[in-house]
Chains A and B, each alone.
Chain A
Amino acid sequence: MAEKFVYVTYIRTTPEKLWDALTKSEFTRAYWFGVTPDCEWKVGSPWKLMFQDGRVADSGEVLEIDPPRRLVLKWRNEFMPEMKADGYSRCTFDIEQAGEAVKLTIFHEIDKTGSKFIAGVSEGWPKILASLKSLLETGKALERPKSL
């Protein structure tokens, strides 16, 4: 049976700015534990999240892309052997206008139960999203340890 987690946040910004924040290094570096994406952002492109020291944090592939509305990634952890062993997960980002704010919904799912990887990201996403919201609304990300 699959395991699936959902994260929803409302951010006072535009869909275009939120899209840039999710896909461009100058933004992710600030709010996403210091990682930066390495990707051409086309369907089928390999996708990687890189640590600042050059190690690969996560990797996968772009499954669907429709800027600034929807991004679906095939996603596997690369730096923690027990999480990497869980194999590929699927992460969907949906962006929609909701009044004066933008609603960001993240679905993260994997085809197995008791996944260590999903347990890990379920701790990470709320923190990443709080920092992302702060960055877009105030210009400052939240301070926290760069590695997690």
Chain B
Amino acid sequence: MSMDAVFKALADATRRQLLDRLFARNGQTLGALCKEMEMTRQAVTKHLALLEAANLVATQKRGREKLHYLNPVPINEIAERWIGKYERHRVRALADLKKNLEGKSDG
């Protein structure tokens, strides 16, 4: 799984929004995601395929439906690569501070 594919998949606001939707509610069908995104089925399908190819989205069949899940593993690998083992707590403290001061998470 190449890191290029992960960054390419993340370099698009619509695809990040799709990940946000799955973060809010994991395990959604294509139909449910289309409704939330107000986009054509075709466009959402294309974005989901890219996210799945980058391993950011995992799917599971349930009967005739396919459920989409956010896979946090590649994003964690990015963090593991550049955040040192002793820095982690400080980085988290700063992220929490920013969240508190701004009143919401970083979009």
- The number of A-B residue pairs with CB atoms under 8 Å apart is 44
Interfacial residues of chain B within 23-63, with CB under 8 A of chain A in the complex: 26-27, 55, 58, 60
Q: How large is the interface on B (under 10, 10 to 19, 20 to 34, 35 or more residues)?
A: 10 to 19
Query: Quick one: closest A residue to B68, CB to CB?
Result: A6
- Decide yes or no: A7 and B73 within 8 Å by CB, A105-B58, A107-B60, A130-B80 being known contacts: yes
B27: A residues at CB distance < 8 A: 4
Docked-complex contact A130 and B58, CB < 8 angstroms: no
Report the bound CA distance from A142 to B73 in whole Å.
15
A10: B residues at CB distance < 8 A: 1, 55
Please report the total number of A residues contacting B with Cβ < 8 Å.
20
Q: Does B77 contact A (CB under 8 A)?
A: yes
- Decide yes or no: A8 and B58 within 8 Å by CB, A143-B85, A144-B85 being known contacts: yes
For the complex, would chain A's binding face be called helix, strand, loop or mixed by DSSP majority?
Answer: strand
Q: Which residues of B contact A (CB under 8 A)?
A: 1, 26-27, 55, 58, 60, 69-73, 75-77, 80, 85
Q: Which residues of A contact B (CB under 8 A)?
A: 3-10, 101, 105, 107, 122, 125-127, 129-130, 142-144
